Structure 1
Amino acid sequence: MKRALTLLSFGIALAFASAPLLASGNSENGKTKAAACVACHGADGNAVDPQYPRLAGQYNEYIQEALHEYKDGRRNNPIMKGFAGTLSDQDIQDIAAYFSSMPTKMDTLKGHVQGD
């Protein structure tokens, strides 16, 4: 019984600690806020140049985490740091909601995978 209560307490604490990362955001607001992103990542989030990641259909939480990592320097890319550095937490949530809600073209990776 004590072990079950410990596991339950741990699960509850983990859920509360993860809550900020799991915020869903507003995709309509994200569309407006993502205006600068489309120059590299494509109007539909499916970049055609292989040097830029395809964002459409990516996991919401992944996009949020990546933007936070660019913003705080854990990911070292001067261009993305400049863009992400201006974003609020709400902006990040909204942009992630927008791109994660878009249809992906990940089934057409021609030119995006080494060896093509």
Structure 2
Amino acid sequence: MKHAITIFTLGAVLALSASQAFAAGDVARGKTKVATCVACHGQDGQSIDPQYPRLAGQYASYLAQSLHEYKDGRRTNAIMKGFAAGLSDQDIDDVAVYFSSLPTKLDGLEHHIQGN
């Protein structure tokens, strides 16, 4: 029983640390940093052009990772690399939590993937 309590406690501590790590951004600051993003992804993160992903409601950790990958070249897209290059780590976290905080309208992939 003592072993189970120790494992449970360790799991709780890890879970709290992980959520704090992913919650490093600030939604209000993020909203002020998305002026270039909205040209393609929409003011509300709901792109109407299927060639641009909808960002609203995506996981903040996924969005942040994607921006870091564009910035360091692991993802290749000349436009996104240019935009990401000027972002600090804090900017990336702020933008990611901002778009993550927006409600998504995406309930399926119809008309959002080329060929469908």
What's the TM-score bracket when you normalise by the shorter of the two chains? 0.7 to 0.9
Residue 93, structure 1, aligned to residue 93, structure 2: yes
Q: CA deviation at 1:23?
A: 4.0
- RMSD between aligned alpha carbons? 2.4
Q: CA deviation at 1:111?
A: 1.5
SS at match of 1:33: coil
Q: CA deviation at 1:69?
A: 0.1
- The answer as to whether partners of 2:25 and 2:90 remain within 8 angstroms in 1 is yes
Distance 1:87 1:21, change over 3 A: farther
Query: Which residue type is aligned with residue 46 of structure 1?
Result: Q
Residue 69, structure 1, aligned to residue 30, structure 2: no
Q: CA deviation at 1:82?
A: 0.2
Query: Which residue type is aligned with residue 94 of structure 1?
Result: D
Match of 2:82 in 1: 82
Structure 1 segment 9-24 matched on structure 2, within 5 A: 22-24=22-24
Q: What is the CA–CA distance in structure 1 between the aligned matches of 2:115 and 2:80, rounded to whole Å?
A: 27
- Size of the aligned set, in residue pairs, is 105
Query: Which residue type is aligned with residue 106 of structure 1?
Result: L
Match of 1:102 in 2: 102
- The answer as to whether partners of 1:24 and 1:60 remain within 8 angstroms in 2 is no
Query: Which residue type is aligned with residue 53 of structure 2?
Result: P
Structure 1: runs of 5 or more not aligned: 1-6
Q: CA deviation at 1:70?
A: 0.2
Match of 1:31 in 2: 31
Match of 1:54 in 2: 54
When the two structures are superposed, what TM-score results if normalisation uses the length of structure 2? 0.79
Q: What is the CA–CA distance in structure 1 between the aligned matches of 2:19 and 2:111, rounded to whole Å?
A: 37
Q: CA deviation at 1:36?
A: 0.7
User: What does the per-residue CA deviation read over 1:21-54, in whole Å, with 9 as the maximum and x for residues that have no partner?
Assistant: 6243101110110111000000110100000000
Q: Which runs of 4+ in 1 moved over 4 A?
A: 18-21
Q: What is the CA–CA distance in structure 1 between the aligned matches of 2:114 and 2:76, rounded to whole Å?
A: 22
Distance 1:64 1:20, change over 3 A: farther
Q: What is the CA–CA distance in structure 1 between the aligned matches of 2:65 and 2:58, rounded to whole Å?
A: 12
